Chains A and B, each alone.
Chain A
Amino acid sequence: MAEKLAQIKEKLDAAAGEELEALLALYEQDERAGARKLAEQKRKQLARLAAERQRLEEMRQFEHMYEEYGLVCGIDEAGRGPLAGPVAAGAVILPRDCEILYLNDSKKLSAAKRDELYEEIQEKAVAWGCGIVGAGRIDEINILQATYEAMCEAIGSLKVMPDVLLNDAVTIPQVRIRQIAIVKGDARSVSIAAASIIAKVTRDRMMAEYAELFPEYGFDVHKGYGTAAHIEALKKYGPCPIHRRSFIKNFGF
């Protein structure tokens, strides 16, 4: 009769649905505190999962709203603010009711979690694309126009064309597709969140490569943003080819 706790844990982890409910009811009545604890932990885990699914469902409200138009694509950008490196844009079309747990605005995730999600998004997406516009072009046409260009490039690299774009509070002038600008879209739409992760991870990986090319600046650490260490290095070594001249003017370069 006396099952080992490890066996109980295994059984609980293997079970699902009605069967799991029944086992939980059983072990909650177990005379051993250890078994009751396992059941309690499993119940908490279930509650957390349910809450996560609920959060994701709320993040699909705009997708549901526009799904009747056809394929819905999220668009977002990374790297508008830094003093160096390119601006990157992501475009992601997710399948209807696609579940990617813990998918969220890239700014709210750890680098490790973003890397994981980056893979999962590419696996599950109907289509995904990324656009990159470099510092030279940013200086030439300004950051806003460069961001639009990167977004167009991202859309152009999708293997199927979307019918609706969900944007994070911008409207891309060059695009004919219907666009919906959502304020704080990266935290309110799964597609925009996915696009933000594609953009962020792609850009961060590029910055890590630039860090090897120009090791003086620490691009792998601050990704080109204007941290104290970065500005210090700029003062000491002057700008390198990936610095945005139009941005560092203000710092006297």
Chain B
Amino acid sequence: MNKRKIGTVYEDAAAAFLEREGCRILEHGFRCRGGEIDLIARDGEYLVFAEVKYRAGKGSGSGPEAVDMRKQLRISKAALFYLARCQIPPDTPCRFDVIAIDGGKMRRIRGAFPLHPACR
């Protein structure tokens, strides 16, 4: 199994986790020219754009929840594209979540970051 496939397995795991938490998965690995989003889900009234971050084993360094600004920009761009393409009503509240997978623990950080300033 290569890196890409491993990433997909983690995305599937995160999707199953969100479904158990009562979300409905709309998109898996959504990508466009501006960027990509691992999971898009409906969580009650919210539309959630989720980034899946994982760390196998006990490597050091930043926590898996850290999403750098460059990545935040790509996710933001892709989110705006998705909103426009699917003609999501403008009053739909949106949120960027991070699903952090670290060994056996899976955590969800709701509203992990705001829309990137360059997209506002």
A19 on interface, CB distance cutoff 8 Å: yes
Q: Given known contacts A21-B56, A21-B103, A22-B54, is B9 in contact with A29 (CB within 8 Å)? A: no
Contact of A29 among B5, B6, B17 (CB under 8 A): B17
A111 on interface, CB distance cutoff 8 Å: no
Closest-CB distance, A59 to chain B (whole angstroms): 23
A31 on interface, CB distance cutoff 8 Å: yes
How many of B's residues come within 8 Å of A, CB to CB? 19
Give the secondary structure class of A's interface: helix
In the complex the two chains form, is B106's CB within 8 Å of A29's CB? Answer: yes
Give the secondary structure class of B's interface: helix
In the complex the two chains form, is A26's CB within 8 Å of B13's CB? Answer: yes
In the complex the two chains form, is B9's CB within 8 Å of A28's CB? Answer: no
A23 on interface, CB distance cutoff 8 Å: yes
Neighbouring A residues of B13 by C-beta, 8 Å? 22, 25-29
In the complex the two chains form, is B10's CB within 8 Å of A26's CB? Answer: yes
Neighbouring A residues of B5 by C-beta, 8 Å? 19
The complex places the Cα of A29 from the Cα of B13 at a distance, in Å, of 6
The complex places the Cα of A24 from the Cα of B19 at a distance, in Å, of 17
In the complex the two chains form, is A26's CB within 8 Å of B6's CB? Answer: no
Closest-CB distance, A47 to chain B (whole angstroms): 10
Q: Given known contacts A21-B57, A22-B10, is B20 in contact with A29 (CB within 8 Å)? A: yes
In the complex the two chains form, is B6's CB within 8 Å of A19's CB? Answer: yes
In the complex the two chains form, is B57's CB within 8 Å of A25's CB? Answer: no
Neighbouring A residues of B12 by C-beta, 8 Å? 26
Q: Given known contacts A18-B56, A19-B1, A21-B56, is B9 in contact with A26 (CB within 8 Å)? A: yes
**A residues engaging B (CB < 8 A)?**
15, 17-19, 21-31, 43
Would you give 15 A-B contacts (Cβ < 8 Å), ordered by A? A17-B56, A18-B1, A19-B9, A21-B54, A23-B9, A25-B54, A26-B10, A26-B12, A26-B13, A26-B16, A28-B104, A29-B13, A31-B19, A31-B20, A43-B104
